[in-house]
Amino acid sequence: MLFETLKLYPSWNIEKTAIPQRSRLYHLEPICIGTPYVESLTGYVQRIAHEHIASLLDG
């Protein structure tokens, strides 16, 4: 009786996907990680945006 109520779902595709090429954007390390003075998410995003806009204006 329980077997009749079970539903069979398709399995997941676990094949590795191709990794796309890296972007021109670069990684900045957040300031003060592991301390009470760690940089906020909005501050981090603002700093990344500023760095990328500055690099676009330079070249």
Confidence of residue 57 (pLDDT cuts 50, 70, 90): low
Report d(CA 22, CA 25) in Å as an integer: 8
Q: Read off the pLDDT of residues 1-54 as tens digits, 9 standing for 90 and up.
A: 556 677 778 888 788 888 777 766 677 888 888 899 999 999 888 888 888 776
Residues in the chain, overall count: 59
Residue 41 dihedral angles phi and psi, to the nearest 5°: -65, -45
Select from 46, 45, 52, 59 the least CA-distant residue to 23.
Answer: 52
Provide the whole-model pTM: 0.48
pLDDT of residue 10: 83
